[in-house]
Amino acid sequence: MASTDTEIDSDAPVRRRATRMGPGPIIASALHSFYTVGYGAASVRDIASGADVTVAAVYHHFASKQDMLVHIMSGAMQDNLVAIRAQHDAHQGDEPAQLRSMVESIVEYHTGHQAEAFVGNSELRSLEEPGRSIIVAMRDEEEKLFRAVLERGMESGAFSTSDSVITARAILAMASGVAAWYRPNGRLSLAQLQRQYGEMALRLAGA
């Protein structure tokens, strides 16, 4: 079926009702569409239908489908970074505790926000500029936080890894990957999963 992303609905009463609802339901619908069918296959009309608003209401809040993707990915990255920084700052001077708690934070976020994590991991290829640069910069900031902890631990003797870059990337890939398979009713509780991933991260660092 041909895309109708640019079609504008002129139903003013419905448009006014949708505008008063705000962008929340639109983003929720966009996230569902990007998660279930992928960014490329999702249409603005489908997103509007899922949010029970008009196409015009979608464009009132977001300039394009690309704008919605950047909104979702940047919001997820920002929430993740805030949680990581909080754990980083709470364990100053203790690199093993910093690393463990930062990894546990990533596991908690990615198991609790699996759709956002999936879209974030799979749709970087769909980002256009300047959105791509925004997201890449946030990912770089996350990696730098881990590299800094690893390098301080290497200097103090807490960690024996010889390559902070590769180790940081391996840890981040491992921790974020839980979003692909985690199920709340699985054999491990979230606390058990966090503990195991924290321990694996320490082993990768050579603690």
Classify residue 9 by its DSSP letter. -
Number of H helices, E strands in the chain: 10, 0
Q: What is the mean pLDDT of the chain?
A: 90
Span 75-79, average pLDDT: 95
Prediction pTM value: 0.85
Residue 22: pLDDT band with limits 50, 70, 90: low
The CA distance from 103 to 198, in Å, is 6
pLDDT band at 1 (very low <50, low <70, confident <90, very high): very low
Report the C-alpha gap between 150 and 98 in whole angstroms: 10
Residue type, 151: E
pLDDT value at position 20? 39
Write the single-letter amino acid at 37.
V
Domains observed in the chain: 12-62 (1.10.10), 67-205 (1.10.357.10)
What pLDDT is recorded for position 134? 96
Q: What's residue 195's pLDDT?
A: 97
First to last CA, the chain: 55
- pLDDT tens-digit readout, 98-109: 999 999 999 999
pLDDT for the residue numbered 19: 36
If you search the block for the tokens 């990255």, which residue do you land on? 77
Is the distance from CB of 104 to CB of 197 less than 8 angstroms?
Answer: yes
- For the segment 58-72, what is each residue's pLDDT rounded down to a tens digit? 999 999 999 999 999
pLDDT in tens, 26-54: 999 999 999 999 999 999 999 999 999 99
pLDDT in tens, 156-167: 999 999 999 999
Average of per-residue pLDDT across 186-201: 95
DSSP state of 8: -
Contact 124, 132 (CB under 8 A): yes
